[in-house]
Amino acid sequence: MNEKKDRKNDLMEKVVSLCKRRGFIFPGSEIYGGMANTWDYGPYGVELKKNIADLWWKTFVQKRDDMVGLDSAIITNPKVWEASGHVSNFNDPLVDCRKCKMRHRGDKLLEEKIGIDETNKIAFEEIGKKMTELKITCPNCGGTDWTDARKFNLLFETHVGVLVDKKNTAYLRGETAQGIFINFKNILDTQSLKLPFGIAQIGKAFRNEITPKNFIFRTREFEQMEIEYFIRPPKEERDWRDIFERWQEDIKNFFEKDLGISAKNMRWRRHDDNERSFYSKDTYDVEYNYSGIGWGELLGFAYRTDYDLQQHIKHSGADLFYRDENGEKFVPHCIEPSWGLTRTLLAVLLEFYTEEEISTSKNKTETRVVMKFPKQLAPIKVAVLPLSKKDELLAISQKIWINLRENFRVEHHSNGSIGKRYRRQDEIGTPYCVTVDFETLNDQAVTVRDRDTMKQERIKISELEKYFEEKLA
């Protein structure tokens, strides 16, 4: 049993190790012993995350004529979260192990045992009893005796001002979506938009998770890429269903064509009546098969009707109506695709981590680790590597580096053997390496190495910029 689990976690463990070793992701507050599943994104992690976000923005905002962007505040008036229902309903089932007193999220432990569909059929107040009945073991001590589930609110509470009291209570946002809804009128007043249209936002959200775990999959601080796509109230199901299905296709294309994630590692799981929110007409989770975790939510996709705008109208009294060219006044409905940016990044790391057996110059074999990111996602596009630290080679390599970095993310490295430098660039996913050697002094050309094929070709220095513009287009 343990051997099977070890094999299952092997890829995740390798990725976590590579992320620390090569500067993608570091444990948070490490010099102070860390802090429960907090993570800092290093030089390559921040580039990869930015590239994913930029590609998403280009796909769903820049290249469309029905989308605008927003960057709303992390701390808002607490009435926002009262209106949205987060203060009263944003809860997870907290259970305690009676043996070691450790607290866990009961529904997730049940899902690991009996699956999400069966878990959703269990009433909240029955979760602890069901866990004891099924002899679900505590991940900490192996105990099987559980308390009844209690509601644990996920909102992060803070205080605004100099006094720490109830009237100064505020919350870090639990999702970016509410910032879109409360700015709906501002967007209408300042933009020439006609339905259907969408508002997109990328930003951090915070949830006081009971048991954050599984690397960056479940954390208390994370990033979302969310869209609220507003439509006219439908007269019949087909009116919203057509738009819903077009978004499903766009989402599928983004994951499979733009990010290059294999369809076999993804699935669309539809919420049943027990799981779906009462205001939603249809909801799906797009899930990725994470190594060591199993199927986990990557994107939530729902038709939320007019619930959110109606709630804010009710609680604020604001005019969040839309008026069409005929003077008709109504509250739009919305379709919401909500991506987890950090979960998408984790899926990309797992998807493109590759190990290959290659032959060495001494007729031996060794394992090459390579991140085969799509070129547009790669943190570094080109690495310039002088064969030695001789001044005459460094002068040329540094000039190439300076020229190329005007248009591409480029690194320059001169330490270590050329073979070790190639392996380093393979591990961070750099598509091309440019080697400046002693022949360069005579022919004014360099060797360009392709990451995926390892094939090399000689290119004139004067042609490098054009070469990479075509290769990295």
CB proximity list for 39: less than 8 A, separation 6 or greater: 25, 26, 27, 28, 215, 216, 219
Residue 2 has what pLDDT? 44
Structure tokens, 48: 């990869």
* Strand 39-41, strand 150-153: pairing: unpaired
**What secondary structure, in 3-state letters, does 267-331 show?**
EEEECCCCCCCCCCCEEEEEEEEECCCEEEEEEEEEEEECHHHHHHHHHHCCCCCEECCCCCEEC
CA dist 310 and 452 (Å) reads 52
Structure tokens, 347: 């899926």
CA dist 446 and 458 (Å) reads 6
- DSSP, collapsed to helix, strand or coil, labels residue 6 as helix
- To the nearest 10°, the Cα dihedral for 402, 408, 409, 413? -40
- Does the bond joining 379 to the residue before it have cis omega, within 30 degrees of 0? no
Residue 318 has what pLDDT? 96
- Cα dihedral sign for 273, 278, 280, 281? positive
Residue 165 has what pLDDT? 76
* Strand 294-305, strand 282-290: pairing: antiparallel
What does residue 20 show for φ and ψ, rounded to 5 degrees? -75, -45
CB proximity list for 366: less than 8 A, separation 6 or greater: 357, 358, 360
CA 25 to the chain's CA centroid: 13
CA proximity to 442, closest of 461, 457, 463, 456: 461
With contact defined as beta carbons under 8 Å apart, do 82 and 315 qualify? yes
Cα angle: 276, vertex 282, 287; to 5 degrees: 75
Residue 4 has what pLDDT? 42
> Would you tell me how many other CB atoms lie within 10 Å of the CB of residue 441?
12
- Answer yes or no: pTM beyond 0.75: yes
Cβ contacts of 353-360, under 8 Å, gap ≥ 24: 353/11, 353/14, 353/15, 353/18, 358/454
- DSSP, collapsed to helix, strand or coil, labels residue 8 as helix
For 302-321, write each residue's pLDDT tens digit: 999 999 999 999 999 999 99
Residue 121 has what pLDDT? 87
Structure tokens, 218: 């479940």
Residue 332 has what pLDDT? 98
How many residues in the chain? 473
Low-confidence ranges of the chain (pLDDT < 50): 1-8
> Would you tell me how many other CB atoms lie within 10 Å of the CB of residue 169?
13
